[in-house]
């Protein structure tokens, strides 16, 4: 899969997404500064490195993701800086959240709350971590959770780069992410060869997965699995499974003329999420942009 983190190229990718899906301009523009800042921060090295020697490739082959083998959320000196940087990006793209985001930023700057505490609790109980960290903020819990989900992406993307560089090629046959264990948010099918690649919006990892199986429930029978297309949009579809009632936004690509960012692609196809959720299907992965109810 062709993906890029260069900020100039990201801007070009966003511009193409706006041209191709002008009906989704509002949400694409809202996430533009967020995506750009995430990619910029993810390119920076973490102050602490994982001990990748603890990762067992045999466990990977058996379907045990890295997140269940080692702790991906190590204390980082830059967590405060990452959170404040993402807060600024949120305010730029979503000015309606400024008041609540400013409250959170102020508490962090005054050292009244520490993002590192959130990550420390996150290793034990994700839901409890959010509740305990947010309860004293006196602001919208949903906004605080949204902000921290953006920070998590930066941290996990750094870890994913670190892990794949250390491990090299490894076997993985599951529909969930080999790094963080989350399900994919979007898929891409190469028209030349028909290979399907899945993308994780939690950590940015891509991996190849068979086309004859549902990534979520692993159903292999062709009956009950199909692709939904919008008229005149043959390059865009949604894989649907009637067993688990999940869908997965899917792109088809002939050639590699343009670089692609899979998160931008997913955001720009929000109309597909609206259609599929209206038909009673649920996304395989809950993302900041596809929670429509």
Q: For the segment 151-186, what is each residue's pLDDT rounded down to a tens digit?
A: 999 999 999 999 999 998 888 999 999 999 999 999
d(CA 213, CA 219): 5
Residues near 212 by beta carbon (within 8 Å), at least 6 away in sequence: 220, 222
Same domain for 139 and 193, yes or no, is no
Describe the crossing of helices 126-134 and 141-167 by its angle, rounded to 10 degrees: 140
Of 136, 167, 198, at which residue does a domain stop? 167
Of 139, 167, 195, at which residue does a domain stop? 167
Same domain for 50 and 129, yes or no, is yes
Confidence of residue 68 (pLDDT cuts 50, 70, 90): very high
d(CA 185, CA 239): 11
Our measurement of the distance from residue 249's CA atom to the centroid of its chain's CA atoms, rounded to an integer in Å, reads: 13
Query: Which domain does 264 fall in, by range?
Result: 186-283
Q: Is residue 123 part of a domain?
A: yes
Q: Tell me how far CA of residue 152 lies from CA of 48, 115, 158, 160, 164, in angstroms.
A: 16, 11, 10, 12, 18
Q: Tell me how far CA of residue 194 lies from CA of 18, 86, 174, 205, 232, in angstroms.
A: 27, 37, 18, 20, 21
Instruction: Give the global pTM.
Output: 0.91
**Residue 6 confidence (pLDDT):** 61
Q: What is the mean pLDDT of residues 257-283?
A: 91
- Pair of tokens at residue 153: 């992406």
Same domain for 152 and 264, yes or no, is no
Q: Is residue 20 part of a domain?
A: no
Average pLDDT, the chain: 88
Same domain for 195 and 277, yes or no, is yes
Q: Is residue 100 part of a domain?
A: yes
Q: Is residue 35 part of a domain?
A: no
**Residue 76 confidence (pLDDT):** 72
Same domain for 143 and 201, yes or no, is no
Number of structural domains in the chain:
2
Q: Is residue 213 part of a domain?
A: yes
Same domain for 160 and 48, yes or no, is yes
Same domain for 198 and 115, yes or no, is no
**Residue 248 confidence (pLDDT):** 97
Q: Which residue has the higher pLDDT, 71 or 138?
A: 71
Same domain for 216 and 277, yes or no, is yes
Q: Is residue 178 part of a domain?
A: no
Our measurement of the distance from residue 158's CA atom to the centroid of its chain's CA atoms, rounded to an integer in Å, reads: 13
Same domain for 100 and 192, yes or no, is no
Our measurement of the distance from residue 6's CA atom to the centroid of its chain's CA atoms, rounded to an integer in Å, reads: 18
* Backbone Cα Rg of the chain: 19
Same domain for 155 and 193, yes or no, is no
Same domain for 160 and 225, yes or no, is no
Q: Evaluate if residue 136 carries a pLDDT over 70.
A: no
Q: Is residue 293 part of a domain?
A: no
Contact criterion met (CB below 8 Å) for 32 and 93? yes
Q: Is residue 259 part of a domain?
A: yes
256 - beta bridge partners?
Answer: none
Of 167, 202, 236, at which residue does a domain stop? 167
DSSP the chain: ------HHHHHHHHHHHHHH-GGGHHHHHHHHHHHHHHHHHHTSPPSS---GGG--HHHHHTT--GGGTS-S----TTHHHHHHHHHHHHHHH-GGGHHHHHHHHHHHHTTSS-HHHHHHHHTT-HHHHHHHHHTTS-S-HHHHHHHHHHHHHHHHHHHHHHHHHHH-S-----SS-TTT-PPPSEEEEETTT--EEEE-TTT--EEEE-TTS-TTT----STTEEEEE-TT-TTEEEEEETTTTEEEEEEEESS--S---HHHHHHHTHHHHHHHHHTT-EESS--TT----
Percent of the chain clearing pLDDT 90 (strictly above): 66
Same domain for 203 and 147, yes or no, is no
């Amino acid at each position: 899969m062709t993906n890029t983190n260069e900020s100039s190229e990201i801007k070009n990718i966003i511009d193409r997404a706006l041209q191709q899906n002008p009906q989704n301009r509002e949400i694409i523009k809202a996430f533009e500064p967020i995506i750009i800042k995430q990619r910029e921060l993810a390119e920076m090295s973490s102050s602490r490195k994982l001990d990748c020697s603890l990762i067992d490739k045999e466990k990977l082959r058996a379907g045990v993701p890295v997140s269940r083998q080692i702790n991906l959320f190590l204390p980082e000196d830059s967590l405060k800086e990452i959170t404040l940087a993402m807060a600024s990006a949120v305010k730029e793209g979503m000015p309606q959240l400024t008041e609540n985001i400013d409250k959170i930023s102020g508490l962090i700057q005054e050292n009244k709350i520490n993002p590192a505490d959130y990550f420390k609790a996150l290793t034990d109980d994700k839901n409890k971590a959010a509740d305990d960290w947010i309860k004293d903020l006196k602001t919208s819990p949903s906004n605080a959770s949204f902000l921290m989900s953006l920070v998590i992406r930066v941290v996990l993307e750094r870890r994913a780069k670190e892990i794949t560089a250390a491990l090299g090629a490894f076997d993985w046959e599951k529909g969930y992410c080999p790094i963080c264990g989350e399900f994919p948010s979007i898929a891409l099918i190469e028209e030349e060869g028909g290979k399907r690649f899945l993308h994780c919006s939690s950590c940015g990892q891509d991996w190849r997965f068979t086309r004859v199986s549902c990534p979520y429930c692993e159903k292999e029978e062709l009956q009950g699995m199909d692709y939904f297309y919008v008229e005149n949009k043959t390059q865009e579809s949604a894989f649907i499974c009637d067993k688990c009632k999940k869908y997965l936004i899917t792109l088809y690509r002939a050639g590699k003329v343009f670089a692609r960012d899979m998160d931008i692609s997913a955001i720009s196809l929000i109309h597909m999420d609206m259609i599929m959720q209206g038909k009673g299907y649920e996304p395989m992965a809950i993302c900041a942009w596809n929670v429509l109810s």
